[in-house]
Amino acid sequence: MKKDDLITLKIEDLSSEGLGVGKCDGIAFFVKDTVIGDVVEAKVMKMKKTYGYARLMRLIEESPDRVEPPCPVTRQCGGCQIQAMRYQAQLAFKENKVRNNLRRIGGIENPPMEPIIGMDVFNVEDAVAGEKAPAGMEVLLGAKALADGVTPLRYRNKAQFPIGRSRDGRLIAGFYAGRTHTIIECLDCLLGSKVNAWILDAVLKHMEQYGIEPYDEKIGSGLVRHVMIRVGFRTGQIMVCLVVNGRSLPHSKELCATLAAISGMTSITLNSNLEKTNVIMGKDLKVLWGTEYIEDLIGDVRFRISPLSFYQVNPLQTQKLYEKVLEYSGLTGQETVWDLYCGIGTISLFLAQKARKVYGVELVPEAIRDAKQNAELNGITNAEFYVGRAEDVLPQKYAEEVQKKCTCETEKIVGEEQERAGERIRADVIVVDPPRKGCEESVLETMVQMQPQRIVYVSCDSATLARDLKYLGERGYEVQKVCPVDMFGNSVHCETVCLLSKLNIKQHIEVELTMDEMDLTAAEKKASYEEIKEYVLEKFGMKVSHLYIAQVKRKCGIIERENYNKPKSENAKQPQCLPEKEAAIIDALKHFQMI
Ligand code: SAH
């Protein structure tokens, strides 16, 4: 087979990027714009040793899962790879993709999967739940999709439109065609809000009127690069951020006056990005009109969102996602939770309502500023946030706390102060929600050292999720449940929530004992303070401090270090272990064969 040959293929599968896969003479061909079940005539474009790429020429037989894509530019635009597929089939494809990655990359033979949580084909007016729909958003789904009831549209609360010129020199806005930087003209993406088109139209007219040039990335000249728009679905507040290759926008007052007339307009900002880069947003931000942020709600929690902060793009599914995270976290109100890659603190604050304490870690300083304000806005006082890379902050905080704890031990600091020392080391639950590349190994390593009961991993890429689950699995964390959540209907992307638990410590220790029993000398039969605490908590439902364990150990004649945990002076007041706690600790010492 060679380039330009015409071949007939039956599409049997989809690649993870959404290309149809069919075989001809044992060679797999990838064909864009096809759906599982299609029989197609395709033209060979590129041949590799064991596979090839072909272009769809003619549909010989339509798959029963094929639907008419409601978007007129779906084939050119890179965004919706599987819009031509019935929504139920999209969900099945995503569920399968997650399962396969966990199997192939994660080595989990039978992933404990829950059914994927799909989107309801919704109506924007329902989405605003009785509140007044913002201007433009009452225009609903494409008629065909609505009639079929198959394809969820208009679910995205955010869009970033590149601005440029068409071949014939007109000012245009739209989306980059798949894998290129050619702009496909499209003011009204069917996944986004209808209001986007009005805003873009106003921006383009303004540029025309005042002779403002779009940015040309090839030569790095021109001014307007992107327009970013966000809509708070529950509040109806609208944000416009103009990203420019400069420090100001000519006649911005006039543009603001036009945009401010759109009902719901809340924030208009100017973002300067002077770099020759693919990264859309620059660091500098200036408010042109209104506030710097908009607000939105997830469940009962109100969030302030700045242009530079991450906020989930599908608010209805986000609520379902966070509810799953809450369920998997198994909170009773007593737990210390770490939320890594926390953004503006959405998961942290959602969980803080049910936890004792939540610590959030996030790279973007603006997001952490939002997170702190969001905690205040909602009267949440048990959440604390740190700016920095999770791979720096977590190991550093952990090391600091271990140090603090050691100091207490060597300086014989007792009582509450000792109890407090090392508080942050305690993590009952760690939630991670990293970007596509997953967690750095140093983050995973520290997580394992912290020994949480549960890890809840939220992932937007099941391949890197599977890689990280393998690492955690090899270190004692077992996958209990996996639930895909579809946040990005019509695209190949899928979010996944995964619950891991620490292998039952009791069983774990018993197994180790039976294996090593023969060699154990009495002196080696020692359990750590954490293991004793854990045992007592699990068996008797009681919390005991290191101090109490030390007191009981001393009573029983097992003293590890001279003066360990003894009061500084004989007269010093020290809390004394209550009899029932003493009995529980003695039981633990017996269990671990220390007495
Ligand atoms: N949990 C949040 C955000 C998830 S998106 C939510 O549901 O809204 C991932 C977040 O990780 C982004 O906010 C991004 O800025 C942040 N991030 C990316 N790399 C990071 C790193 N190395 N350390 C900490 N945060 C990081």
The answer on 526 and 437 residing in a single domain is no
Whether 573 maps to a domain, the answer reads yes
Q: Which three-class secondary structure string do you get for 190-243?
A: CCCCCHHHHHHHHHHHHHHHHCCCECECCCCECCEEEEEEEECCCCCCEEEEEE
pLDDT recorded at residue 121: 64
Q: Which long-range contacts (CB under 8 A, 24 or more apart) does 559-564 make?
A: 563/412, 564/409, 564/412
Q: Quick one: which of 427, 414, 308, 451 has its CA closest to 370? A: 308
State if residue 81 touches ligand 1 by the CB under 6 angstroms criterion.
no
Do residues 269 and 292 touch, judged by C-beta distance below 8 A? Answer: yes
State if residue 318 touches ligand 1 by the CB under 6 angstroms criterion.
no
Whether 496 maps to a domain, the answer reads yes
State if residue 435 touches ligand 1 by the CB under 6 angstroms criterion.
yes
State if residue 84 touches ligand 1 by the CB under 6 angstroms criterion.
no
The answer on 526 and 503 residing in a single domain is no
| 460 tagged catalytic | yes
Whether 328 maps to a domain, the answer reads yes
The answer on 485 and 362 residing in a single domain is yes
The answer on 490 and 367 residing in a single domain is yes
Whether 189 maps to a domain, the answer reads yes
**Segments of the chain with pLDDT less than 70:** 121-150, 409, 412-414, 416-425, 504-526, 559-575
Nearest CA to ligand 1 atom 11: 341
The answer on 399 and 454 residing in a single domain is yes
The answer on 195 and 341 residing in a single domain is no
65, 95, 121: which is the final residue of a domain?
65
pLDDT recorded at residue 60: 97
The answer on 260 and 337 residing in a single domain is no
| Residue with tokens 């003695």, as numbered in its chain | 586
Distance CA 429, CA 333 (A): 12
pLDDT recorded at residue 90: 93
The answer on 319 and 291 residing in a single domain is no
Distance CA 582, CA 346 (A): 41
Backbone φ and ψ for 499, nearest 5 degrees, come out as: -105, 130
Q: Quick one: which of 420, 414, 418, 422 has its CA closest to 568? A: 414
Whether 75 maps to a domain, the answer reads no
Whether 73 maps to a domain, the answer reads no
- Cα(344) to ligand 1 centroid in Å equals 9
Per-residue DSSP letters for 295-338? EEEETTEEEEE-TTS---S-HHHHHHHHHHHHHHHT--S--EEE
43, 65, 87: which is the final residue of a domain?
65
The answer on 531 and 472 residing in a single domain is no
Residue to probe by mutation, ligand 1, list 362, 391, 431, 497, most atoms within 8 Å of CB: 362
Catalytic option among 71, 342, 460, 577: 460
The answer on 338 and 280 residing in a single domain is no
CATH label of the domain that carries residue 16: 2.40.50.140
Distance CA 507, CA 144 (A): 57
State if residue 347 touches ligand 1 by the CB under 6 angstroms criterion.
yes
- Cα(179) to ligand 1 centroid in Å equals 24
Whether 119 maps to a domain, the answer reads no
For residue 468, give both structure tokens.
Answer: 């990280």
Do residues 192 and 156 touch, judged by C-beta distance below 8 A? Answer: yes
477, 507, 537: which is the final residue of a domain?
507
Domain carrying residue 8: 1-65
The answer on 265 and 367 residing in a single domain is no
Do residues 565 and 414 touch, judged by C-beta distance below 8 A? Answer: yes
* Number of domains comprising the chain: 4
- Cα(326) to ligand 1 centroid in Å equals 18
Q: Rounded to two decimals, what is the model's pTM?
A: 0.79
The answer on 535 and 485 residing in a single domain is no
| Residue with tokens 């309801």, as numbered in its chain | 120
Whether 422 maps to a domain, the answer reads yes
CATH label of the domain that carries residue 451: 3.40.50.150
- Please count the CA atoms within 13 angstroms of the CA of 86 that sit on its side-chain side: 14
For residue 433, give both structure tokens.
Answer: 């929600």
